[in-house]
């Protein structure tokens, strides 16, 4: 196994408030996560990424923080968090936290002080303008919902900057005191045993913002400083950044000191995600082939984080107009499916019409891409969305544990409307039809399939640490690629259409005398590399070579 744990990890993303309620108040909590820790261990993930857990008014899913050092009382206490770290450690599970450095809530004590008095010691912790900025209606993160990026405060007598909603004022990264405080926040959670942090809105975090300024004027040195301090205190802690930027900017986030990533170890592979969605929509692997062929070579120890769905919308802003429309037509044709003029607010299972064959092929494809796979809670059972909820809340509904009241999420004796969010209780993706308990009893369920795939993944470290190359094959709807590392070689073949196919792999593939199929959509009768059978939406993982020598 790689000595850098994150390269062979499987990251499970969950919202504590929507995962499991332990005390019947209708809100998920840390004790609820603890009660489900064995479920996560059995599933086969080895890293849990917790969404925001800090005190917050919860106007933006907890990303509007009022105290970076605390736990929201509804979720529990620091003692509960310490217990979670203990039980996770006992099962070999690591924990990552969301790290919100770009902004705070406007109810944060820092901001309430800053706007109350121009002589406040926290005044310069935020970004202000005495005059109305000419660009205040530009650069909105949530177009169609958000109207400005500068808002006037009567109390402060000045305009403050906010890349996101007006109740999330931006911190001033140019202020050394702010930089020191953010480093303290990271150190605090590291001392409690956290293995890594997902940096929310990384490009905006390092913007050197001023009225009329260049939004691409970024202070990458702050990321270097943060990484250096973190590595000194805990050498194996990682940063995973949300940085949906142009390809030529990606390397700035990784950093490249003597050929090694010296800033951030991991970035979400947004370009690859868009290619996957386009390939699934068109049932044509061309977009993925182009992405794999052109993704920039990463510095040593740099790693992509792959995903199909996350806690936000499917962001299609990097696609050209026609490709974007093709994905919308396939997966989000109705206006209510769409969000922020760029994306889709649906879960993957309903986007694929609940087709189990296609769903499994899609996740097999994601999990064999170069990098570390990220799985959103509920996707392992094929949960759907609630389009009656606003914006991104549509895909943030409570976990569906059983067909009982409130999906087994809570024992609260209240209507669904009184929960943190209502459970899905109608249609083919309701908790009566899609839940953990029923799928646990079904050996052919999506949940059991995920368990098999994730445990197979542990024997295929080449995916996380190896070099990936395309393998030319006919017919064109089939994607074939190879992952090669010192441990051996594995090839992956995926049929993106519903029609059965036969493909001939090149004769010069180096392999042992007896290649072994390690995972597939079903048990095939033969393994003939020159005449490989694939069902409609079929896939096959084939180990060509295994090296047992020590590395």
Report the alpha-carbon distance of residue 167 to residue 149 in Å, rounded: 11
**Burial track 355-370 (b if 16+ CB lie within 10 A, e otherwise):** ebbbbbbbbbbbbbbb
Catalytically annotated residue among 242, 271, 385, 416:
242
Q: Is 200 a catalytic residue?
A: yes
What distances in angstroms separate CA 50 from CA 85, 123, 181, 338, 451, one per listed residue? 12, 31, 22, 26, 21
Catalytically annotated residue among 29, 200, 380, 535:
200
**Burial track 47-68 (b if 16+ CB lie within 10 A, e otherwise):** bbbbbbbbbbebebbbbbbbbb
Residue with tokens 């962001």: 315
* E strand residue ranges, 24-83: 47-50
- Taking alpha carbons only, the member of 545, 418, 539 closest to residue 480 is 539
Report the alpha-carbon distance of residue 223 to residue 253 in Å, rounded: 8
The pair of three-digit structure tokens given for residue 307, joined into one six-digit string: 């995903």
Report the alpha-carbon distance of residue 162 to residue 286 in Å, rounded: 39
User: Which residues, in sequence order, are bridge partners of residue 338?
Assistant: 344
Quick check: bond before 475 cis, omega within 30?
A: yes
The pair of three-digit structure tokens given for residue 415, joined into one six-digit string: 């209507």
List active site positions.
200, 242
């Amino acid at each position: 196994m790689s000595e850098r744990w994150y390269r062979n990890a499987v990251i499970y993303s969950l919202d504590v408030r929507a995962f499991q309620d332990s005390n019947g108040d209708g809100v998920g909590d840390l004790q609820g996560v603890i009660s489900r820790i064995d479920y996560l261990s059995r599933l086969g993930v080895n890293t849990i990424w917790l969404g925001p857990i800090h005190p917050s008014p919860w106007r933006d899913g907890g990303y509007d923080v009022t105290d970076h050092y605390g736990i929201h009382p509804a979720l529990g206490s620091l003692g509960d968090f310490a217990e979670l770290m203990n039980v996770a450690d006992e099962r070999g599970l690591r924990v990552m936290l969301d790290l919100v450095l770009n902004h705070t809530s406007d109810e944060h004590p820092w901001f309430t002080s800053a706007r109350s008095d121009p002589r406040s010691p926290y005044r310069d912790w935020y970004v202000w303008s005495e005059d109305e900025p000419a660009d205040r209606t530009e650069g909105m993160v949530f177009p169609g919902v958000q109207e400005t990026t500068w808002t006037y405060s009567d109390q402060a007598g000045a305009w403050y900057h906010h890349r996101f909603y007006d109740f999330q004022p931006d911190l001033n990264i140019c202020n050394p005191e702010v930089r020191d405080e953010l480093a303290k926040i990271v150190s605090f959670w590291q001392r409690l045993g956290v293995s890594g942090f997902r940096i929310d809105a990384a490009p905006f975090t390092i913007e050197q913002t001023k009225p009329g300024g260049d939004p691409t004027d970024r202070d990458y040195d702050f990321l270097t400083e943060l990484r250096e301090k973190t590595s000194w205190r805990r050498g194996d802690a990682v940063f995973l950044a949300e940085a949906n930027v142009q390809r030529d900017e990606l390397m700035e986030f990784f950093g490249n000191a003597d050929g090694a990533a010296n800033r951030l170890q991991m970035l979400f592979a947004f370009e690859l995600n868009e290619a996957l969605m386009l390939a699934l929509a068109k049932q044509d692997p061309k977009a993925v082939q182009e992405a794999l062929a052109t993704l920039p070579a990463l510095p040593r120890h740099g790693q992509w984080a792959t995903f199909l769905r996350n806690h936000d919308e499917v962001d299609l802003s990097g696609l050209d107009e026609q490709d974007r429309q093709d994905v919308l037509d396939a997966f989000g044709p109705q206006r209510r499916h769409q969000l922020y003029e760029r994306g889709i607010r649906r879960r993957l299972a309903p986007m694929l019409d609940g087709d189990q064959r296609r769903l499994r092929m899609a996740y097999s494809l994601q999990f064999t891409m170069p990098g570390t796979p990220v799985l959103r809670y509920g996707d392992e059972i094929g949960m759907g969305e609630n389009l009656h909820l606003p914006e991104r809340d549509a895909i943030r509904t409570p976990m569906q544990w059983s067909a009982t009241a409130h999906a087994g999420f809570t024992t609260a004796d209240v209507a669904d409307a009184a929960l943190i969010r209502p459970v899905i209780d109608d249609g083919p993706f309701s908790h009566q039809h899609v839940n953990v308990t029923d799928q646990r009893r079904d050996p052919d369920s999506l949940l059991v399939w995920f368990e098999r795939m994730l445990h197979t993944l542990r024997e295929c470290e080449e995916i996380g640490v190896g070099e990936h190359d395309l393998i030319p094959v006919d017919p064109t709807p089939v994607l074939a690629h190879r992952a090669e590392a010192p441990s051996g070689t594995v090839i992956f073949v995926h049929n993106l259409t519903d029609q059965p196919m036969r493909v001939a792999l090149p004769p010069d593939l180096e392999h042992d005398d007896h290649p072994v199929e390690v995972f597939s959509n079903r048990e095939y009768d033969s393994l003939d590399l020159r005449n490989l059978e694939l069902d409609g939406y079929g896939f096959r993982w084939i180990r060509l070579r295994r090296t047992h020598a020590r590395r």
